[in-house]
Homo-oligomer: A and B are copies of this chain.
């Protein structure tokens, strides 16, 4: 099974039993999300910008307006950390220190580069729509070169990545025994709500949008959409 090789940068030090470096674990988290937190440094000051992203193989992509400070900076080939996380639950204990949260997260490290070739930008932007809504690009009004020039696209080869997952019940302690407080887990679920068609819309929803049915789990919808576009995820 293909895996990332951790160095001091990505090695998980706390609770290493919760960490994984194989592509299946890392891509499992990355393909279940659409919002990343991109960390970069300007003059020693860290910035963390939330942004939509997508993955193709070992590459992550994100984009924004041409004037974006974040994109301007990261596209210079500076080191970047891209983190994706999901809150999965509140763990509620019978003592303060047994309270915690369940989560899935990935930290991915690399250097971003600006994609400048307009044909490459067009292909990548189509790939983003396709990754979210398999088969949609051909249904859309084609983007013009002028429109593409108004955005900046960056790509980052993942050099190292680690996944960390916590999915536990309460770590009740001997000292907590007999203490009369409710203890357990409140799961947290992110789902698609009722669709809001534009008032001018005249077209029924097509199959490319089907993963985003009302009530669908967002992580499932995104993973399903990615599998439709890229094929089944790597085996575990």
Contact = CB atoms under 8 A, between A and B. Distances in A.
A192 B182 contact: no
Contacts of A41: 41, 44, 46
B195 A83 contact: no
A128 B64 CA distance: 36
Contacts of A57: none
Tell me the number of copies of this protein: 2
A229 interface: no
A202 to B, nearest CB: 8
Interface in A4-40: 9, 13-15, 34-35, 37-40
A235 interface: no
A107 B47 contact: yes
Nearest to A170: B198
Contacts of A76: none
Contacts of A47: 39, 81, 107
At the interface, is chain A mostly helix, strand, loop or mixed? mixed
Given A49-B107, A200-B172, A143 B97 contact: yes
A236 interface: no
A186 B193 contact: yes
Given A41-B44, A83-B37, A96-B129, A182 B194 contact: no
B189 A191 contact: yes
Interface in A181-235: 181-198, 200-206, 209, 212, 218
Contact of A139 (B181, B187, B194, B209): B181
B187 A204 contact: no
Interface of A: 9, 13-15, 34-35, 37-41, 44-50, 52, 64-65, 67-69, 79-83, 85, 87, 89-90, 92-97, 99-101, 103, 105, 107, 109, 125-126, 128-129, 132-133, 136-137, 139-144, 147-148, 151, 169-170, 172-173, 175-176, 179-198, 200-206, 209, 212, 218
